[in-house]
Amino acid sequence: MKKFFIPIIILVTSFFVVYILLVDSAFIKISMLLLYALFIAFFISPEISIIAFISIRPLLDTFNAYTVVSYQNFALNLNAILGLAIFLCGLGLIIYRKMSIKIPGLIMLPFFLFFCIVSVFYSQHPIISLEEILKILGIFILYIIAYNWVKNSQFEKNIKYAILASSSIPILVSFWQLITQSGLNYGLLTNRVYGTFVHPNSLGFFLVIIIALLLAEYLLTKNKKILYLFIPVGIPFIFTYTRGAWIGLAVVLFVLGIMLYRKQLLIALAIISLLFISLQVAQFIAVNQFDYDLRKIPLYARLMIRNEEDDSIDWRIKVWKEMSPLIWQAPFTGHGLGMYPYLRSNQIINIYEATEAHNDYLRLAIEIGLLGTAAYVLLWLSILRKNLRTFFTVKSKKEKIQPAMACGLIAAFLIMSIADNILEATAVMWVFWTVLGLFSFSLSKKPLPKDAE
């Protein structure tokens, strides 16, 4: 096997050396050197290489649109390069370790991929569609790998610790942005922290996963030191001002409470109700006694009121109404995977207006048709059903924690996808589907072959 790798390593090394010598950009040189290091690491330890890919992906999200390779009308950005790398390395690991791809819950995946692949043939920009397919294949390859890793407790711990450790950098950057007032300002919101992500929403969704992972670890180990970590994670989570992420976390906790901790859920709901009542009372007292409007505080305003002149909800509804007729122009085939931004750009006059759908279901219905969208939703529901079956099959409360958390995350991301670009947030999706694969564990934990340990 190693002899087979030698010509591949020589060929790829030659390409990297020539490419790095030809480009002028220091950023591209560093990015390609990092990618080359991960490539070489794959031949030394495939598992370590995949873990490294997953860990560094959130750190590079800000640069995901940076063009790395371009020739005439053809261009590949960093996001596409990383997608191709994780696809090839992940597929190589699955083949090399002879991992099982017959995983309960993925029955609808071939149907969803079929509609995605077919759309390439009538897409206005086939290369863009192919890049999107590679991104989708990459996240499901990570799910398959993570699912198989649960059979080996050491790999499971390594990936969990790597994800938690890598989250420290976006969190530290978020604190720097919060302290130095260098977050994003637009509309009536100021200093929204985004860490190393391209947008505060992406950081918010990422931290939903981190909080869920920490909570699962605490419930499994009862290690009280983990509780201290919720403070540094929770502060930037709040100051992303991402309502979708706040709702997502609430859904995770609600589902977990319904399934395992009903008493604690009732207490939490009572506390939240009292908190909101207290905030209303505080507003009344502040206005009448101190002539100060608490709604001037951004966090209070984001929690308690809607500003009709600058409300993203109204803007989203407007976009959905304008774009939904495109579904019926090609209801069964769609217009091609990844084509929504191009179709939207043809409709808007303001060049600074966002071209994203802020609704994954609308986006997919326009791009791959209603049948493809149905396959996508059924894929989520089949994984949810698998975890529910696991939850009701296992006996102990401890064994029920991970499938319950998986159900909570699935419900949260299904809901968050209604009003945001979840599927487009590749860095978030890599971590999400990896964690979901770990939580969606197999009941028969057979050890991996000796050469994989």
The 10 Å Cβ neighbour count of residue 385 is 16
Give per-10-residue mean pLDDT for the chain (453 aa): 64 78 76 81 84 89 75 71 86 86 90 96 92 92 89 77 94 96 83 93 96 95 94 95 93 95 90 86 84 80 64 84 94 95 84 83 97 97 94 91 95 95 93 92 46 38
Whether residue 66 lies inside any domain: the answer is: no
Whether residue 92 lies inside any domain: the answer is: no
The CA-to-CA distance between both ends of the chain, in Å, stands at 18
Backbone angles phi, psi at 64, to 5 degrees: -65, -25
Q: Which residues of 223-239 are buried (b: 16+ CB within 10 A; e: fewer)?
A: eeebeebeeebeebbbb
Give the span between the Cα atoms of 230 and 213, in whole angstroms: 11
pLDDT at position 388 is: 95
| Contact in structure between 230 and 190 (CB atoms under 8 Å) | no
Burial of 254 (0-12, 13-18, 19+ CB in 10 A): middle
Name the domain count of the chain. Answer: 1
Backbone angles phi, psi at 227, to 5 degrees: -60, -35
Give the span between the Cα atoms of 135 and 84, in whole angstroms: 8
Rounded to 10°, the helix 46-56/153-166 angle is 30
Whether residue 280 lies inside any domain: the answer is: yes
Rounded to 10°, the helix 200-221/397-416 angle is 170
Residue 337's DSSP bridge partners are none
Whether residue 19 lies inside any domain: the answer is: no
The set of residues, in sequence order, having a beta carbon less than 8 Å from that of 397 and lying 6+ positions away, is 260
| Contact in structure between 58 and 196 (CB atoms under 8 Å) | yes
Whether residue 277 lies inside any domain: the answer is: yes
Whether residue 354 lies inside any domain: the answer is: yes
Whether residue 278 lies inside any domain: the answer is: yes
Instruction: Give me the domain span that covers residue 291.
Output: 112-452
The position carrying tokens 């920009």 is: 125
pLDDT at position 449 is: 42
Whether residue 6 lies inside any domain: the answer is: no
Helices (H), ranges, 45-125: 46-56, 78-96, 109-118
The 10 Å Cβ neighbour count of residue 98 is 10
Secondary element (H or E) of residue 358: none
pLDDT at position 72 is: 63
| Contact in structure between 63 and 54 (CB atoms under 8 Å) | no
| Contact in structure between 236 and 175 (CB atoms under 8 Å) | yes
